[in-house]
Amino acid sequence: MVEQFLNKWKADITSYSNFDEVMDAMQLEPMARQVFKEKAGTLEYQLDGDTWTALAGVEGLGVRKYVYKLGEEIEGIGLDGVPLKTTSILDGEALIENSTSQKTGIPITITRRVKGDILECTLLVDKKGVQMTYNMTKM
């Protein structure tokens, strides 16, 4: 089931639900928040053996490269410039990413599932129980 994720995806900003509430709960900086709301992000997954590479980008914020193995914590910088600690796992057909902002200490969980040419995403701000959903389309 891993192969279904190995594509380049583009966010459909019209599919965002509960965006403002989640950004408030995450305490995201206003400038980054505006860019995320107005510009479609991209996400590309690659796999070499058991090493994953995720290329995440948003116009105006650049692209970040994350290299990791499932189940192992990595440190990185988010698209908004904030340091993160992240662990990703596969659970059935879901790719689940658990991240904690090193600035705010706020943990989030992003669950992604492929349905045809759509990557269905749910972002949960763990301690606050606030979540948003959005779709990404295969490019």
- What CATH number corresponds to the domain at position 103? 2.40.128.20
What domain count does the chain have? Answer: 1
Position 61 scores a pLDDT of 76
Is the pTM of the predicted complex or chain greater than 0.85? yes
Q: Which two tokens stand for residue 32?
A: 């980054």
82 CA to centre of own chain: 14
Lowest mean pLDDT among 86-90, 95-99, 124-128: 124-128
Average pLDDT, rounded, for the chain: 96
49-69 pLDDT, tens digit per residue, is 999 999 999 987 789 999 999
> Considering only CA atoms, which of 100, 41, 42, 49 is closest in space to residue 70?
49
> Considering only CA atoms, which of 113, 136, 139, 132 is closest in space to residue 16?
132
The mean per-residue pLDDT over the stretch 62-83 comes to 95
Position 63 scores a pLDDT of 94
What's the domain range around 124? 2-138
14-48 pLDDT, tens digit per residue, is 999 999 999 999 999 998 899 999 999 999 999 99
